[in-house]
Amino acid sequence: MSHPFVLLISASLTDEMAIIQEGYAFIPKEFSLESYKFLFSDPLMIINAYSISIIVTLIGTFASLLIMALLAYPLSRKIMPMRNSLSFFIFFTMLFNGGLVPTYLLYTNFFDVKNSLLALIVPGLLVNAFYVILLRTFFHVSIPSAIIESAYIDGAGEFRIFCQMVLPLSMPVLATVGLFQIINYWNDWFNGLIYITDSSYYSIQILLNTILLNAQYLIDNVQYSTEMENAGTIPTQGVRLAIAVIGVFPILAAYPFFQKYFVKGLTIGAVKG
């Protein structure tokens, strides 16, 4: 599994002409940092984009887990009225949605999230129907009803039971869903493409996509321009690989901290104790 990433990093550190002439290799034929120099030609821009992505990922993941857990827990309780109807309504959103144009008009004209951090947090990411159903199933199957009943006898309310008993017992599934949400928020570029026009709100994915498109534009149009004689030296192949390295590295760094919960969260309930 690590071989593709090693090849990716090695190729991003290889000279452009060496890649074109000899292809990719695990050991660079000719070491070069030109791709990264091109990407970091404006380091403040990269730092700002990383900051936006980190803020959006942390806030979005925390808010998403909190909202989905608060929604899933009542649905797992048999005493909740109309829980089946509400569960069907949530499931229905997995099959049908309002479409891109109505969604865009709703978020820009009514909620006014354009060119804001909310545009990168809320649309299409904050609540995921599949994760809500996953959490509801975990709460229903894996949280012993005897624990909740004993807490009732001791006088605890629903919110206290949820915070002090249900959440601590649900760390595997919360970590699993949290990892998925971290990946979703970090890799998201569509919301930025639709709702962000101010470059100061560019996430790292939007910025890297913009850099890649600009580099490709220069290469494709260099023959029509006399003012871009050096544009042909842009390492387009290396830039693509360097973009992939910069985009995926934080996720690779975070994954080991979630791995034990991730595996347990996926397998929980598969075997009865």
Contact 203, 188 (CB under 8 A): yes
Band (pLDDT 50/70/90 cuts) for residue 133 is very high
Amino acid in the structure at residue 56:
V
- The pLDDT score that the predictor gives to residue 211 is 77
User: What is the rounded average pLDDT of the residues 46-67?
Assistant: 92
All domains of the chain in start order, with CATH: 1-32 (no CATH), 33-267 (1.10.3720.10)
**3-state DSSP assignment of residue 178:** helix
- The pLDDT score that the predictor gives to residue 226 is 42
Alpha-carbon radius of gyration of the chain: 24
**3-state DSSP assignment of residue 123:** coil
pLDDT 10s digits, 186-214:
989 899 999 998 888 999 888 888 877 77
Tokens of 40: 């970091």
pLDDT 10s digits, 220-272:
655 444 444 444 456 677 777 887 788 787 777 767 766 666 555 555 544 44
**3-state DSSP assignment of residue 271:** coil
Contact 131, 180 (CB under 8 A): yes
- The pLDDT score that the predictor gives to residue 29 is 78
pLDDT 10s digits, 64-97:
999 999 999 999 888 888 888 888 888 888 888 8
Band (pLDDT 50/70/90 cuts) for residue 122 is very high
Of 3, 20, 38, 21, which Cα lies nearest the Cα of 242? 38
- The pLDDT score that the predictor gives to residue 221 is 59
26-53 burial string, b = 16+ CB within 10 Å, else e?
A: eebbeebebbbebbeeeeebbebbeebb
- The pLDDT score that the predictor gives to residue 230 is 47
- The pLDDT score that the predictor gives to residue 233 is 57
Phi, psi for residue 186 in degrees, rounded to 5: -70, -40
Of 60, 61, 50, which Cα lies nearest the Cα of 203? 50
